[in-house]
């Protein structure tokens, strides 16, 4: 089979902001992309997979440049083209689906205008009427029922999935030979992401396009690609047909990557139920009083007429010493529910009892006392740690705030906490920017544990992390739970995470709990249609 | 053939990247800050760089600029160079006073109203700042001067009060924005009280825009104080304040241009210096 894209010895470097040092992002990368098929480029953050995509479409950030190598598209070395000449190629022969559908459409122009712009930028020879007909047909193909109505709308009126499908339409509009999709689904909910991938496949098959799919999700790669390129720190470590690489990985990094994913085994994707049976969570003794009790809790944002009911009659109990997972997509009300538990929002109706106290009735001082016993770990450790403080300052923040112990005792406690989350004590003088994502999340966990709380609210604790790091952080959380007898209230969109750590799970949709029970019951015998759809991903 | 191709790829001409431009900006910023230090030293010790007394009649009236009198002399024979250098002290330090008043007032009002946006305190302070903003700055300064008497420092305080409103708005916005940062909320759920949150997390995260706004308004304050003196409401002759010098020299513009133009240029140069620093320091954060 002839390759459409042929990359040899591609080296890309980024110049640092303050000095003349250059960081190599890609180190003599060579690979070929077979025509007419889907090639997945997988790797963790920092592996250079996005740099590769951007180098091919020549959209590197200004401090990045190609130091050496060749990129051939259909036999022509495109690096020999000047920027102007290359621009004619981009759009007409290479389509690009970006990662962030929110930032990638112009908010001041209608969808129709932006679709037409793709034709005028590529100097399409089609007549205006033919352009309109093609747009209409393309939009039908990617699953829009009423293209005419869509054309007059602005991006902000569309959901993330709809925007991404518009971007897919734009990428394929000039019938390019190659479409590069850079993490097209990672900003989307699982079910929506599935729709977008279906749209890409529909367009690809119809127009016989070669697709390069950049992703960190092995299940996505395995389901959607024929070929796979595994990258680690700027180097291609393994390439080959997907089945072969996933079934018989040769490079140790590929093996580690596959081992970290609960979903891929022996070269195929397991269903969430199968994965659950493979590594069932240990049951725990559920003793004593429940730690969290919600009863018929409702919370509305906005006015009664024009507001949204974020939480609608939710009742749940979290037994002591266990992990309770609240699962749902964005906008389902799961985060609002956790904020009600933490006392950051007040419910409009119903009762919220945490550790035996009714949260909405607490005075400010009493709430502050209760917060000693419940702490939070936020989704993104890149945002939840003050970049200006050292780890010591961050971890001892709760100790300082409650004036616990002397300076020396607090310092000793910081060391103890660093041990607890398996970080070297010498890290205490570092700043968060010097740490990796997984290390930062460990710091956030250490801070949450500083006051020896009984309840931890984990708000998507691993979804901002790489797969191999996710597994390690979840492991740490499980160990800590056993050691310190903690109760976890876990908020997540990812049923795979749930099946790893939670004993009980509730599935939330549009503010309501549609299904709840023990993790095994919900995952193995789901009753609700929505739960079944989530599990089928 | 292949040789030339690879060479073309291997050795691309170093492009004038934003990184390079940024480095240039940092260097320029350092040079300008060094100039500010020089200005401050000169303002504190004007005797270091002058050899005539600013108030003595050392030369003939209207001597054109020459070696002994670099900027010439004024209508009664005083050394203009020495007067400009000595005047710097008044101009610079009254501008410092104005900005300190503006920053302190603005910080207190801005932080207090930004803590609970839409709260009672925020609304009350909002009405207050808008009321002050509705009065033109010069009018406000004139009112204060009429009440407390003339002088550069009274004028500076008056201008500072007027400018405090802008600082208050900026700081309020920054504080509200910082309040939505996850790490600020995280601190709150850690049990940190409002004061702790403000001083440990919010204030450090907003100092960049505030500093650059301060630099800009420093220059503007100098200009405003000069204007007031020019109008006769700030310093009085024989003070060497720049506004006074410009006002005194303008009558002789036709046959001794330097008496008014040199202090005018000095004032312009210092204002441009500070606004350039403001511009560069703002760019540098991105």
User: Hey, is the C-beta of A256 within 8 angstroms of any chain B C-beta?
Assistant: no
In the 3-class helix/strand/coil scheme, how is A309-351 assigned residue by residue?
EEEEEEEEEEEECCEEEEECCCCCCHHHHHHHHHCCCCCCEEE
Asked if the Cβ–Cβ distance from B17 to A63 is below 8 Å, we say yes
pLDDT of residue A266: 62
* pLDDT at residue A455 in the model: 93
On the question of pLDDT at B4 being above 60, the answer is no
* pLDDT for res B151: 79
Determine the pLDDT at residue A283. 63
Tell me if B190 and A63 make a contact (CB, 8 A cut-off): no
Smallest Cα distance from A332 to chain B, Å: 20
User: B127 pLDDT exceeds 90?
Assistant: yes
CB A98 within 8 A of CB A50: no
Residue A342 has pLDDT above 70, yes or no: yes
Interface contact A433, partner B, CB < 8 A: no
pLDDT of residue A213: 92
- Same CATH topology for A35-49+87-270 and A281-373+453-535: the answer is yes
The residues, ordered by sequence, that sit 6+ positions from A317 with a Cβ below 8 Å of its Cβ are: A290, A292, A293, A294
CA A423 – CA A184 distance, rounded (Å): 34
Q: What does the pLDDT look like over B45-63, one tens digit per residue? A: 888 888 888 887 777 788 7
Residue A449 and residue A528: Cα distance in Å, rounded?
Answer: 36
Question: What distance in Å separates the CA atoms of residue B260 and residue B75, rounded to the nearest whole number?
Answer: 11
Q: Cis ω on the peptide bond leading into residue B238 (within 30° of 0)?
A: yes
The pLDDT score that the predictor gives to residue B107 is 92
> In the prediction, which pLDDT does B5 show?
40
Task: Please name which of A196, A192, A129 lies closest in space to residue A169, comparing C-alpha atoms.
Answer: A196
pLDDT beyond 50 at B115: yes
- Quote the pLDDT of residue A282: 63
Average pLDDT over residues A279-293: 71
User: What per-residue confidence (pLDDT) applies to A265?
Assistant: 65
Give residue A352's pLDDT: 92
**Contact between residue A377 and residue A457 where contact means Cβ atoms under 8 Å apart:** yes
Query: Has residue B15 got a pLDDT over 60?
Result: no
CATH class name, domain B26-36+79-284: mainly alpha
Residue B208 distance to chain A (closest CA, Å): 13
Backbone phi, psi, residue A70, to 5°:
-130, 140
Which positions ≥6 away from B150 have C-beta within 8 Å? B232, B233, B234, B235, B236
B279: confidence class by pLDDT, cuts 50, 70, 90:
confident
Contacts of residue B207 in chain A, CB cutoff 8 Å? none
Token pair in block for residue B165? 């409103």
pLDDT mean across residues, chain A: 86
Interface residue A130 vs chain B (CB under 8 A): no
> How much is the pLDDT for B12?
43
pLDDT > 50? residue A506:
yes
| Mean per-residue pLDDT, B88-116 | 91
Rounded to 5°, the CA angle A38-A39-A42 comes to 135
| pLDDT grade for A49, boundaries at 50, 70 and 90 | confident
CB contact under 8 A, B191 and A77: no
Closest-CA distance of chain B to residue A63, Å: 6
Min CA distance, B279 vs chain A (Å)? 19
Residue A269 has pLDDT above 80, yes or no: no
Instruction: Give exposure, B239-268, as e/b (b: 16+ Cβ within 10 Å).
Output: bbbbbbbbbbbeebeeebebbbebbbebbe
- What is the model's pLDDT at position B150? 79
**Mean pLDDT across the stretch A217-237?**
88
pLDDT value at position A371?
87
Element (H, E) at A57: none
pLDDT > 80? residue B254: yes
Q: Confidence band (pLDDT; 50, 70, 90) for B117?
A: confident
Question: Does residue A300 contact residue A309 with C-beta atoms inside 8 Å?
Answer: yes
Confidence of residue B1 (pLDDT cuts 50, 70, 90): very low
Residue of chain A whose Cα is closest to the Cα of B286: A17
pLDDT of residue A19: 64
Confidence band (pLDDT; 50, 70, 90) for B8? very low
Label residue A280 by pLDDT band (50, 70, 90).
low
The topology under which CATH files domain A35-49+87-270 is Rossmann fold (3.40.50)
At the top level of CATH, the class of A281-373+453-535 is alpha beta
Q: Check pLDDT > 50 for residue B22.
A: yes
Residues A147-161, mean pLDDT to the nearest whole number: 87
Tens digit of pLDDT for each residue in A371-396?
A: 889 999 988 888 899 988 999 999 99
pLDDT single digits (tens) B66-83: 878 888 888 888 888 888
Q: Which pLDDT belongs to residue A18?
A: 63
Q: B11 pLDDT band (50/70/90 cuts)?
A: very low
The sign of the dihedral angle between the CA atoms of A404, A340, A473, A323 is: positive
- pLDDT digits 0-9 by tens, A432-443: 888 888 889 999
pLDDT of residue A490: 93
């Amino acid at each position: 089979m002839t390759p459409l894209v042929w990359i040899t010895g591609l080296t890309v470097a980024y110049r640092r902001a303050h000095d003349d040092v250059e960081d190599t992002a890609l180190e003599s990368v060579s690979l070929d992309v077979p025509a007419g098929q889907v090639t997945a480029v997988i790797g963790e953050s920092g592996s250079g997979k996005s740099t590769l995509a951007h180098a091919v479409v020549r959209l590197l950030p200004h401090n990045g440049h190609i130091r050496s190598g060749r990129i051939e598209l259909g036999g022509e070395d495109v690096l020999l083209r000047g920027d102007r000449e290359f621009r004619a190629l981009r759009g007409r022969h290479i389509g690009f689906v970006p990662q962030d559908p929110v930032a990638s459409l112009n908010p001041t122009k209608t969808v129709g205008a932006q679709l037409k712009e793709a034709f005028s930028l590529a100097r399409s020879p089609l007549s205006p009427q033919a352009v309109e007909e093609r747009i209409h047909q393309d939009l039908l193909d990617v699953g829009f029922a009423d293209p005419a109505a869509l054309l007059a709308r602005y991006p902000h009126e569309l959901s993330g999935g709809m925007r991404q499908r518009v971007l897919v339409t734009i990428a394929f509009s000039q019938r390019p030979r190659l479409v590069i999709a850079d993490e097209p689904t990672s900003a989307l909910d699982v079910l929506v992401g599935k729709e977008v991938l279906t749209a890409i496949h529909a367009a690809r098959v119809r127009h016989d396009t070669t697709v390069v799919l950049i992703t960190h999700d092995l299940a996505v790669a395995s389901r959607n690609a024929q070929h796979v390129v595994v990258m680690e720190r700027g180097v291609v470590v393994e390439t080959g047909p997907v089945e072969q690489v996933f079934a018989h990985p040769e490079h140790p990094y590929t093996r580690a990557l596959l081992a970290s994913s609960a979903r891929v085994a022996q070269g195929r994707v397991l269903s969430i139920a199968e994965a659950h049976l493979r590594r069932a969570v240990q049951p725990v003794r559920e003793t004593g009083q429940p730690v969290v009790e919600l009863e018929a809790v409702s919370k509305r944002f906005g006015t009664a007429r024009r507001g949204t009911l974020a939480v609608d009659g939710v009742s749940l109990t979290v037994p002591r010493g266990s992990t309770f997972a609240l699962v749902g997509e964005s906008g389902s009300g799961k985060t609002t529910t956790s904020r009600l538990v933490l006392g950051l929002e007040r419910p409009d109706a119903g009762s919220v009892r945490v550790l035996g106290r009714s949260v909405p009735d607490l005075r400010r001082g009493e709430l502050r006392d209760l917060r000693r016993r419940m702490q939070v770990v936020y989704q993104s450790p890149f945002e939840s740690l003050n970049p200006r403080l050292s780890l010591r300052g961050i971890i001892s923040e709760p100790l300082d705030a409650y004036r616990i112990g002397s300076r020396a005792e607090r310092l000793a406690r910081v060391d103890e906490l660093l041990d607890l989350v398996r970080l070297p004590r010498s890290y205490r003088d570092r700043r968060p920017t010097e740490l990796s994502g997984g290390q930062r999340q460990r710091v956030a966990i250490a801070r949450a544990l500083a006051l020896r709380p009984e309840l931890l609210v984990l708000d998507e604790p691993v979804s901002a992390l790489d797969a191999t790091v996710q597994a390690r952080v979840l492991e740490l959380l499980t160990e800590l739970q056993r050691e310190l007898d903690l109760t976890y209230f876990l908020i997540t969109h990812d049923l795979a995470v749930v099946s790893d750590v939670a004993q009980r799970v509730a599935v939330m949709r549009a503010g309501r709990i549609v299904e709840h029970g023990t993790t095994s019951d919900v995952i193995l015998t789901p009753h609700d249609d929505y739960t079944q759809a989530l599990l089928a991903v | 053939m292949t040789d030339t191709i690879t060479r073309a790829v291997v050795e691309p001409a170093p492009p004038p990247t934003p990184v390079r431009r940024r480095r240039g900006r940092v260097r320029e910023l350092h040079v300008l800050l060094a100039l500010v230090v020089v200005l401050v030293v000169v303002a504190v010790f004007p005797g270091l760089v002058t050899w005539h007394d600013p108030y003595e009649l050392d030369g003939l009236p209207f001597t054109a600029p020459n070696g002994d009198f670099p900027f010439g002399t004024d209508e009664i024979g005083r050394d203009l160079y020495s007067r400009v250098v000595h005047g710097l002290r008044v101009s610079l330090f009254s501008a410092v006073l104005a900005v300190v008043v503006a920053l302190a007032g603005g910080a207190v009002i801005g932080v207090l109203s930004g803590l609970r946006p839409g709260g009672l305190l925020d609304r009350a302070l909002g009405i207050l700042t808008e009321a002050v903003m509705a009065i033109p700055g010069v009018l406000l300064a004139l009112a204060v001067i009429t009440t407390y008497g003339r002088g550069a420092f009274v004028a500076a305080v008056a201008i500072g009060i007027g400018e405090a409103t802008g600082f208050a708005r900026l700081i309020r916005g920054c504080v509200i924005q910082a309040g939505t940062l996850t790490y600020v909320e995280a601190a709150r759920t850690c049990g940190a009280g409002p004061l702790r949150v403000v001083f440990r997390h919010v204030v450090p995260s907003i100092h960049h825009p505030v500093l650059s706004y301060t630099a800009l308004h420093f220059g503007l304050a100098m200009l405003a104080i000069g204007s007031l003196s020019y109008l006769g409401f700030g310093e009085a002759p024989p003070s060497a304040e720049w506004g006074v010098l410009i006002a005194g020299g303008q009558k002789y513009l036709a046959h001794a241009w330097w008496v008014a133009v040199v202090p005018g240029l000095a004032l312009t140069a210092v204002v441009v210096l500070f606004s350039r620093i403001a511009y560069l320091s703002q760019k540098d954060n991105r």
